[in-house]
Amino acid sequence: MSGQEGVQPGPEQQATVRVIKPSQFDANTPQTPGMERVAAVSRELAGSQGIWAGITVVQPRVASGVHHHGELETVIYVVSGHSQVRWGEGMQQSEEVEPGDFIYIPPFVPHQEINPSPDMPSRWVIIRTGQEPIVVNLEPETSTSKIEENKATHPQL
């Protein structure tokens, strides 16, 4: 127990609900090749202390670079698109995902997002357990990308 339970914030710390409109999202966040991340809830945008949330878009026929988020836990909610997530050393494990699915990624687990659709972007809501924008890209930027480049090693695409 911290001794702070039930203590109301003072006037200088007044807690309040924040609504962040899409036009306010912040693209100034670490990126992984093959996908686009924007922050929606962060210390800067909402005054959040312990969580970060945003949107990720993976364009059609694209596989993101392999990456992890350090000590952060990540929850992903699939909003649109039928995609695949790979994880583990060598990306040997995979699962198909679709709208309505939640994905949990533990700390330090290498993973990759793949959108095999020929014409529909995949959109995901991302929530992480910290404010630091930790993105550790494990491949050189030039090695990611188009699904055709991955077919030689992953024929199931």
Q: What SS3 state is found at 89?
A: helix
pLDDT tens-digit profile of 5-19? 554 444 555 678 999
pLDDT of residue 46: 93
Query: How far is the C-alpha of 42 from the C-alpha of 133, rounded, in Å?
Result: 10
pLDDT of residue 116: 94
Q: Which pair of tokens denotes residue 141?
A: 């930027």
Taking the chain (157 residues) in runs of 10, the rounded mean pLDDT of each run is 49 77 93 88 92 94 91 96 91 96 96 94 94 79 46 43
Query: How far is the C-alpha of 124 from the C-alpha of 105, rounded, in Å?
Result: 14
Amino acid in position 95: E
